């Protein structure tokens, strides 16, 4: 079980709902380990600043996470977390292993530019 302060995705159906109902979504699929925790921490801290992005996590060992583990964008990934960025339900970016805040915000700024007057 992931005990982060992020919203959790538990099922493939939840995952489909989340990415279809929200324009900009970041999902961190991992475990409670040293490569994943810093990425959850970054997401928790920037949630307030990036109000136009919805942040979620999903447990890597949950069989339902096949919706992330089996997508073509993660082929060749050999380090968790798998972090997936969705725009209007489509994958626009995926990263493997630990990331810095600068790396995460660079992707968010590029892929999910904030709306004017946000």
Partner 1 sequence: MLNSMNSNNHYDAIVIGAGPAGLTAGIYLSRARLRTLIINEGTVGGQMVLTHEIANYPGVESISGYQLSNIMKKQAKTFGCDIKSNISIQNIELEGELKRVTLQDGIIYTANSIILTPGGRSRTLNVPGEGKFKGKGISYCATCDGDFFTDKEIVVVGGGNSALEEAVSLTKYASKVTIVHQFDHFQAFEHAIEEARNHPKINFIMEATLSAFRGNENLESVDIKNIKSGEISTFKTDGVFIFIGYIPNTEFLKGKVELNQWGEIVVKADMSTKLEGVYAAGDSTAKRFRQVTTAVGDGTVAALAASNYLHEMKSKLKNLIPA
Query: Would you call 111 exposed, middle or buried from its count of C-beta atoms within 10 A (0-12, 13-18, 19+)?
Result: middle
Cβ 80 vs Cβ 94: under 8 Å: no
- Cα(17)–Cα(100) distance, rounded to whole angstroms? 28
**Taking the complex as a whole, how short is the minimal distance between the CB of residue 76 and partner 1, in angstroms?**
5
- Cα(50)–Cα(115) distance, rounded to whole angstroms? 11
- CB-nearer residue toward partner 1: 17 or 45: 45
- Is residue 31 involved in binding partner 1 (CB under 8 A)? yes
Contacting residue, 48, 70, 76, 117, with partner 1 by CB under 8 A = 76
- Is residue 96 involved in binding partner 1 (CB under 8 A)? yes
**Taking the complex as a whole, how short is the minimal distance between the CB of residue 1 and partner 1, in angstroms?**
11
90: helix, strand or coil: strand
Contacts with partner 1, residue ranges (CB under 8 A): 3-5, 30-38, 41-42, 45-46, 76-80, 95-98, 101
């Amino acid at each position: 079980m992931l005990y982060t302060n992020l919203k959790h995705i538990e099922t493939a159906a939840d995952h489909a709902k989340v990415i279809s109902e929200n324009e900009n979504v970041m999902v961190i699929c991992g475990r409670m380990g040293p490569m994943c925790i810093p990425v959850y921490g970054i997401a928790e801290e920037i949630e307030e600043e990036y109000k136009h992005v919805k942040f979620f996590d999903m447990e890597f060992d949950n069989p339902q996470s096949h919706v992330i583990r089996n997508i073509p964008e993660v082929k060749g990934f050999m380090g968790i977390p798998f972090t997936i960025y969705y725009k209007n339900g489509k994958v626009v970016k995926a990263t493997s292993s630990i990331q810095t805040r600068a790396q995460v915000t660079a992707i968010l700024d590029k892929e999910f530019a904030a709306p004017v007057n946000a």
